[in-house]
Homo-oligomer: A and B are copies of this chain.
Amino acid sequence: MDQFNQQQIGALSAFVEPDRFSTGQSNREMHTKDISPHQGKLPAGIIWPLTTEETSAILVYTYAQGIPVTPWGAGTSTEGNPLPVMGGLVMDMTRMDRIIAIRPADLQADVQPGVFRKTLNKNAARAGLFFPPDPGADATIGGMIANNASGVQTIKYGATKDYVMRLVVVLPDGRVIHTGGKAHKSSSGYDLTRLFVGSEGTLGVVTEATLKLTGIPVVHLAATVTFETLEAASKTVAVLMGSGLEPAALELLTPELIALMNREKSLGIEEKPSLFCEFHGISEAALKETADLAQELCRDGGAVTFKTGVTEKERRELWRARHEAWETIHRAFPGRETIIVDAAVPISDYPEMVVFSQRQLDEKKALGFVFGHAGDGNLHVVMVGDPSDEREWTALEEINDTIVHRAVELGGTCTGEHGIGIGKRKFMQLEHGEGYDLMKQIKSTIDPKGLMNPGKMFL
């Protein structure tokens, strides 16, 4: 039995209009799966708040009653981050989806957490601006803040953390706090904003955010570069990153992944170890200069081909294909689940990590695809298997463990962008040591009853 009962949950219907609280089976089931193999426990109810005040009133109540609360964005996480593992209440933020203001003169936007990033970008584009962090999925701003999401353009533009200036957060007990501010700089007290960014909903619910925006780059140039070996390709990454050319994207792809993408998407890309690059600039002339220098550096690094001159349509397709790598893999092996390695290391160690990871797959004859946000030293291995086949699944878990251990030895992390959720809790002690204890201390200071998104981040 849970500590709370159905009557306590039912009372929540008094807090919002009827269509914003549900104990219906299908709604509850929909909130037990993200894209990971993890499974949440059926929550007792779902609530969709509209305002900070409502969110606060709900949390005052759940806190008093001892009801676990799990915030929910778009549910596109890869580690079980938004799954209600103790049941309780799921707080779905997607109806709190107002763009409060886009303020072009300040290069800022004020948004509610349920705004989707593509919606924000469509609106910001009218002012010539965009919000750069770009996880493959169309996530909510709240989910991106909670996971500190990033993507292919992070090497130039930064991660979500670099764009959050100010938050309104409702703490587990219903207290409302404002963090940060709208000024570009501040040295005023502890950086509470950054404490909440990346906290995966374990410290409170974000109900409003002020985000930095950036000017949409005037011109783009994409290039695909092939190499004979994965090592040569990955070694060129550090050279390009140190060159001052400031690539806007620098992705590594293995022949195996490209072959799959070609098969599923009829792309017709050469099946060689490759770098997909992009450069942004203020004029065609400046970009041409950049591309020439990049080509020279790639050739020195052993590149076989360096292809630019793709059309805008081809460029978009290339990046769509890259963004959809996970879906493509998933679709190619129906009925299977995936484990996604998300390690990141200093870029000088990236070649070693890439070769090491590919070798793990080869030696263990595991089905998996190596790729990554190479310019950030962020490595993905999407491994495919059947969780009910214990031997196979355990082997994949072991590969994941081996790769993460090596990454941490090199001063890196178990997760460059996806967050800890359920799946990576086992690495927290390894990666953070005594720092992990301090995180637990902070968690229990802010959430002494352990009711906010319980069962995440901490083992």
Contact = CB atoms under 8 A, between A and B. Distances in A.
A159 B165 CA distance: 14
A316 interface: no
Given A166-B411, A378-B184, A432 B348 contact: no
Nearest to A457: B189
B107 A242 contact: yes
Contacts of A155: 184
A60 B188 CA distance: 29
A417 B184 CA distance: 11
Interface string A120-136: 00000000000000000
Nearest to A104: B242
A178 interface: yes
A224 interface: no
A148 interface: yes
Contacts of A282: 244-245, 289-290
Which one of A410, A418, A438 has the highest number of Cβ atoms from chain B below 10 Å of its Cβ? A438
Contact of A376 (B148, B185, B199): B185
Contact of A289 (B177, B283, B378, B436): B283
Given A197-B191, A346-B106, A411-B166, A186 B433 contact: no
A106 B345 CA distance: 10
A213 to B, nearest CB: 10
A265 interface: no
A10 interface: no
B188 A431 contact: yes
Contact of A438 (B192, B344, B410, B433): B192
Interface string A406-434: 01001111111111100010011001111
Interface in A141-172: 147-150, 154-155, 159, 161-162, 166, 171
Given A183-B411, A186-B416, A215 B195 contact: no
A280 to B, nearest CB: 10
Interface residues of A, number: 95
Contacts of A159: 185, 187
Interface stretch (A301-309, A318-326, A360-368, A439-447): A439-447
Given A286-B286, A416-B186, A434-B175, A445 B439 contact: no
B415 A188 contact: yes
A377 to B, nearest CB: 5
Contacts of A186: 148, 344, 413, 415-416
A414 B191 contact: no
A35 interface: no
A31 to B, nearest CB: 22
B289 A187 contact: no
B103 A348 contact: yes
A126 to B, nearest CB: 14
Given A171-B438, A194-B194, 6 more contacts: A106-B347, A185-B413, A187-B413, A187-B419, A188-B414, A244-B282
Interface of A: 103-108, 147-150, 154-155, 159, 161-162, 166, 171, 175-179, 181-192, 194-195, 197-199, 203, 210, 215, 217-218, 238, 241-245, 282-283, 285-286, 289-290, 344-348, 373, 375-378, 407, 410-420, 424, 427-428, 431-436, 438-439, 441-443, 445-446, 457
28 contacts: A148-B186, A148-B191, A154-B185, A162-B162, A166-B411, A178-B434, A182-B410, A183-B346, A183-B407, A184-B375, A184-B378, A184-B416, A185-B377, A186-B415, A187-B418, A188-B415, A188-B419, A188-B420, A189-B420, A189-B428, A189-B436, A191-B194, A191-B195, A192-B438, A194-B194, A210-B411, A286-B286, A286-B289
